[in-house]
Amino acid sequence: MRTEDLVGSLSADLAPVKRLRPPMVRAAGWLVLSVLVIGAVVTVKGFRPDLEARLVEPWEVAQLAAALATGVLAAIAAFHLALPDRSDSWALLPLPGFALWVASLGWGCVADFIRLGPDGIALGTSWSCLGFILALSLPLGGAMLFALRHAGPIRPVPTAAIGVLSMAMLASVGLSLVHHLDAAVMILVWHAGAVLVAVALSTGLSRPGFRIARRLSTAAA
């Protein structure tokens, strides 16, 4: 097919489209929706009994704030990255918050070791933490990527990775309000581990995932 013929064919195919709203507005809408979903799950599961005592400790609050900021900034970044004319550097936006969160957990491990000795960094298993974060972040992330499906032909991998990072970090904040995990090493391994698993899965599945999302939306149109 000659380029001139393709131009004619595309023009003949033209249908009106609804412009996307600005990325900040879309990100805000998405954040409200995901906070409502995660909040509902947290309410059903019940807050951890020692939550009030936890929330007066500046260290704990800072840790939660870093996780929350990472989730919010990652959502904003994902909605910008999905647009062709925005800079790749939007992908960096959530990284300082994420680094701060991981560093605070690392520092917590050191503090636990100083306070309790080797027992303070004894690693147990908490599959439920992994399950909670994956069970929330993968469906929410999948739905978010459906909303971001136009990123498929442009930046599928960074958009999927940062979008799912956002959902996983918000799920981790929700889990921190529900679950008893005192040792920083446990949070580091099970929360951060679950976040990394979610991001790795979304990175690997980004291209076929966006293709399926576009097919679904074409079939529905």
Min separation Cβ 150 and another protein, Å: 5
Site for another protein in 32-51 (CB under 8 A): none
- What distance, in Å, lies between the first and last C-alpha atoms of the chain? 26
Residue of the chain from 7, 25, 116, 196 that contacts another protein (CB under 8 A)? 7
Q: Kindly give, in sequence order, each residue whose CB lies less than 8 Å from that of residue 155, ignoring residues fewer than 6 positions away.
A: 81, 82, 88
d(CA 158, CA 172): 21
Min separation Cβ 76 and another protein, Å: 11
d(CA 112, CA 145): 38
Tokens representing 94 are 């959530």
In the three-class reduction of DSSP (H, G, I as helix; E, B as strand; rest coil), residue 90 is classed as: helix
The alpha-carbon radius of gyration of the chain (Å, integer) is 20
Min separation Cβ 102 and another protein, Å: 24
Q: Kindly give, in sequence order, each residue whose CB lies less than 8 Å from that of residue 26, ignoring residues fewer than 6 positions away.
A: 20, 79, 147
Per-residue x/- track, 152-181, another protein (CB under 8 A): -xx---------------------------
Per-residue x/- track, 84-123, another protein (CB under 8 A): xxxx-xx---------------------------------
Q: Kindly give, in sequence order, each residue whose CB lies less than 8 Å from that of residue 160, ignoring residues fewer than 6 positions away.
A: 141, 145, 151, 202, 203, 205, 206, 209, 210
The reply to whether 26 sits near another protein by the rule CB under 8 A is no
Please work out, in degrees rounded to the nearest 5, the angle formed at the alpha carbon of residue 192 by the alpha carbons of 50 and 213: 115
Residue of the chain from 11, 58, 115, 118 that contacts another protein (CB under 8 A)? 11
The reply to whether 215 sits near another protein by the rule CB under 8 A is yes
Residue of the chain from 65, 83, 121, 135 that contacts another protein (CB under 8 A)? 83
Name the percent of the chain in helix, strand, coil, to the closest 5: 80, 0, 20
Min separation Cβ 25 and another protein, Å: 12
The reply to whether 29 sits near another protein by the rule CB under 8 A is no
Min separation Cβ 70 and another protein, Å: 18
Nearest to another protein of 24, 40 (CB atom): 24
Residues that bind another protein (CB under 8 A): 1, 3-4, 6-20, 22, 80, 82-87, 89-90, 150, 153-154, 214-216, 218-219
